[in-house]
Amino acid sequence: MSDSSLTTVGIDFGGTSVKLGVCRAGELLHTDAPITTGDFHGPAALITEMAARVAKLREIYPDIAAIGVGVPGLVDFEHGFVHVLTNVPGWKHVPLKAILSEKTGLPVVVENDANAMAYAEFRYGAGRGLNNIVALTMGTGIGGGLILNGQMYRGVGCAAGEIGQMSIDADGKSGHYGNLGALEKYVGNKEIAEHAMQRYAEAHVTKTLEECTPKRIADAAKAGDDIARQIWEEIADWLGTALASIAWLLNPDAFIIGGGVAQAGNLIFDPLQRKVQSMLSTVVWERLQILPAKYSNEAGIIGNASLAADAV
């Protein structure tokens, strides 16, 4: 980490929209109107628009010193090369860092989105001051990012942190890659909804999938619905099994959990704490924190801007 007080641009590139912001020392100084990803066909047009946005931001913030871009897919961090973005047509083998840097004249870093979120929590969020952090983002899938020995940990192919693919049952449900027991087949938003529908059906209560989102199940549990409370206990059992395994392996300072499931608050964090504690030794448990993420929508912008500030 070098000069984290630099003013930098963070770009959070998602399948639907590209969000841009200007940050300094983890503070979001300015948020730009998002770019609609689908309005720009192919990488060249979209990168040109990103560069145009950055040029306008520099009129307001002439001290902008670098750009960090987070993308929803596999990147080569060292070269700022995007291998492939499954949910964005045309994004395959794109030298994003080289092109954006050439167009703007600024240093550029390119990171995976889950890693950027983990970095935001590490530098300025719930994990500030901690050296070993496992961050999870829970939604349709379960993403993750790792800070180990006070550094971003990416693995040999920049593919580390795929917590949703870890197995919680050697004979369990098949994941996207044929991986039996994949965690996200138990605690992904869709799978939670399907499981909840089934639990209600067993109790002769008919609910639609839309009535079984994490938010709706949380609302029901808060209103005293015993079935909903039991569903949160089950989610905690599955998620807690995976977190305990990670804790045995990495003996981290903290898990930091963001996304829809985390918004259930104590409904998930209380049984999760109990489950994880029940699976660990005192030594591993006593220094472990299980925390909600500080950031939500702005995590990508702040994380990418911070990565850029620390890299130059």
Shortest distance (Å) from residue 49 CB to its own copies: 29
Shortest distance (Å) from residue 293 CB to its own copies: 19
Binding site for its own copies (CB under 8 A): 74, 83, 131-132, 144, 146, 148-149, 151, 153-163, 165-172, 177-181, 237-238, 241-242, 244-246, 248-253, 278-281, 283-284, 286-287
Tell me the C-alpha distance between 201 and 150, whole Å. Answer: 47
**Other CB atoms closer than 10 Å to residue 307's CB: what's the count?**
27
Shortest distance (Å) from residue 286 CB to its own copies: 8
User: In 3D, which of 109, 111, 184, 183 has the Cα closest to residue 153?
Assistant: 111
- CB closer to its own copies, 48 vs 131: 131
Shortest distance (Å) from residue 99 CB to its own copies: 23
Tell me the C-alpha distance between 13 and 30, whole Å. Answer: 17
Say which DSSP state 125 is in.
S
Residues 6 or more apart in contact with residue 163 via CB below 8 angstroms = 134, 136, 142, 143, 144, 183, 242, 246
- CB closer to its own copies, 62 vs 178: 178
Shortest distance (Å) from residue 134 CB to its own copies: 8
- CB closer to its own copies, 41 vs 248: 248
The DSSP-derived string for 99-117 is HHHHHHSS-EEEEEHHHHH
Shortest distance (Å) from residue 146 CB to its own copies: 8
- CB closer to its own copies, 158 vs 268: 158
- CB closer to its own copies, 100 vs 242: 242
Q: Where are the beta strands (DSSP E) in 2-119?
A: 7-13, 17-24, 27-31, 35-36, 64-71, 74-76, 81-84, 92-94, 108-112
Q: Are 209 and 193 in contact (CB under 8 A)?
A: yes
Shortest distance (Å) from residue 141 CB to its own copies: 12
- CB closer to its own copies, 11 vs 284: 284
CA gyration radius, the chain: 20
CA atoms within 13 A of residue 233's CA, in its CB half-sphere: 7
- CB closer to its own copies, 16 vs 151: 151
Encode burial over 41-53: b for 16+ CB neighbours within 10 A, e otherwise.
eebeebbeebbeb
Shortest distance (Å) from residue 52 CB to its own copies: 33
Q: Are 65 and 6 in contact (CB under 8 A)?
A: yes
- CB closer to its own copies, 197 vs 279: 279
Shortest distance (Å) from residue 186 CB to its own copies: 8
- CB closer to its own copies, 161 vs 300: 161
Tell me the C-alpha distance between 152 and 154, whole Å. Answer: 6
Length of the chain: 312
